[in-house]
Amino acid sequence: MPAKRKPRIWEPPSRGTWLRRFGEDADAAREKLGGMLEPHELAALGSYYWQGWARDEQLPPEEAWRIWLICAGRGFGKTRAGAEWVRDVARHDGKARIALVSASLTEVRNVMVEGDSGVLAAAPGALPPAFEPSLRRLTWENGAIAWLYSAGEPDSLRGPQHSHAWCDEIAKWDNSNERAMMAWNNLQLTMRLGETPRVLATTTPRLAPLMVHLTEEAKRGRVVVARGRTHDNAAILPADYLRAMVEQFDGGSFGRQELDGEMAGAIEGALWSRALLERCRVSGAIPDARRVVVAVDPPASATGDACGIVVAELGADRIATVRADCSTPQASPEQWARAVAVAARAWGADRVVAEANQGGEMVASVLRAADVTLPLRLVHASRGKAARAEPVAALYEAGRVRHAGLFGALEDQLCGLMAGGSYQGPGRSPDRADALVWALTELMLKPKSEPRVRGL
């Protein structure tokens, strides 16, 4: 009969370093743990011991804090960190009253509660809460409660009281009519339960007013900030995904923002700023379109710059909306022409506008060969790209252009077009930005013919 193993006292450190210090030698880690723990203890450790597996940046600050901001690239593990923090709060405090806030109720439910890294996924069998969607509420057996809120409804945060709050993707909260700031401020006024109310905010950075506010608060020591990159989670993320994201976005300001977790600032003298683009971004309903155009900035060669392809429409309210960036990198004439045809059909375009400086009638013949049967207008550039862009930038300043979503590569180029003619954005040429300029020029700035008296 084998000798009974003597019980051992094992006290892991409080922060997530012990299980990761073996580096790539995971077998050694498992063998060492196997000698310390019973099989069921080892299984529980793998499932529930977040403090052991987490990286330090995903764990609460060691110093005293009221607001903790995790500002990191996509795939860093921000959602998992938020869900695990909520689970830990609820497990240890039956009086906890927790606010879960995101851009919309749909996102709170789909990401923060029921998502793959949400609160329910973080608590399989370990004091799981009961979710009541109709009541927008999570309830734990010990009495802890979490409520779901939309940042798009700031007044819903008037009246309740909370001891803890988790706010997700705060940089994408809609700030039209200052709703994002109102939601944040209203939430702060509800944080009046318990001795140490705390708010965790998780986000990929964008130059939004709320992010600027929290950055200033961090400088004053009122916000503790944890930063991180997509690469920090390389051991968990699929290798193909990580490789593709790096190839597509690394090196540009969009990549620094979305992968490296850096908040891209404005280039002094640029025609567009990040703040201007954030002000024009919309996520709700858009008025019916009066006109839809697809604008094309053809490349000089198939191995050079991308072919800029941008879809924009003019609404019944006389405001233009950028709907899609369908640009194709390093495409042959046949490939980018097919991309134009697909975009035109998908969006019901009534006109294709194509710059003809490179190729002239060849551009028209290639588009016709791709079955582009819509009216085609060839335009010829007599001024530089930045000079053509100045009146279009003025439309943005006047609030006459919307962006229906985030167009990272396109917006990087817009923010690199300088007053005076130079370009300081990513790539050799602002091909996407030039296509946008042609689209909005067609919709908003094309001279209208005046009626004339031909004779009596």
In this prediction the pTM is: 0.58
Distances (CA, A) of 356 to 207, 299, 360, 446: 36, 10, 5, 17
The pLDDT assigned to 62 comes to 85
Looking at mean pLDDT, say which of 125-134, 285-294, 351-360, 379-388 comes out highest: 285-294
The pLDDT assigned to 20 comes to 52
Token pair for 267: 């280039």
> 63 with 198: CB under 8 angstroms?
no
The pLDDT assigned to 147 comes to 98
Give the integer Cα–Cα distance in Å for 348 and 415: 29
DSSP bridge partners of 68: 200, 224
Token pair for 270: 């640029």
Give the integer Cα–Cα distance in Å for 284 and 216: 29
Phi, psi of 291 (to 5 degrees): -140, 150
Does the pLDDT at position 434 exceed 50?
A: yes
For 51-98, write each residue's pLDDT tens digit.
Answer: 667 788 888 998 889 999 999 888 888 999 999 999 999 988 999 999
Looking at mean pLDDT, say which of 37-51, 208-222, 227-241 comes out highest: 208-222
The pLDDT assigned to 4 comes to 47
Token pair for 169: 């993707």
Q: By mean pLDDT, which of 241-255, 275-289, 380-394 is the weakest?
A: 241-255
Give the integer Cα–Cα distance in Å for 42 and 337: 58
> What band does 232 get if pLDDT is binned at 50, 70 and 90?
confident
Does the pLDDT at position 451 exceed 50?
A: no
Q: Considering only the top CATH level, what class is 274-445?
A: alpha beta
Give the integer Cα–Cα distance in Å for 129 and 134: 15
Does the pLDDT at position 186 exceed 90?
A: yes
Does the pLDDT at position 453 exceed 70?
A: no
Q: Which residues of 376-408 are buried (b: 16+ CB within 10 A; e: fewer)?
A: bbbbebeeebbebbeebbebbeeebbbbbebbb
Does the pLDDT at position 175 exceed 90?
A: no
**Any alpha helices (H) in 167-222, and if so which ranges?**
179-190, 209-219
Percent of the chain with pLDDT over 90: 43
Domain ranges across the chain: 18-53, 56-258, 274-445
Phi, psi of 271 (to 5 degrees): -70, -30
> What band does 302 get if pLDDT is binned at 50, 70 and 90?
low
The pLDDT assigned to 87 comes to 92
CATH of 56-258, one of 3.40.50.1820, 3.40.190.10, 3.40.50.300, 3.10.580.10: 3.40.50.300
Q: Minimal CA–CA distance to 233: which of 117, 85, 124?
A: 117
Distances (CA, A) of 315 to 245, 323, 359, 443: 34, 12, 32, 10
The pLDDT assigned to 10 comes to 34
Distances (CA, A) of 93 to 80, 144, 163, 364: 20, 7, 10, 69
At residue 315, the 3 state secondary structure works out as strand
The mean pLDDT of 295-321, rounded to a whole number, is: 87
Token pair for 403: 């962006």
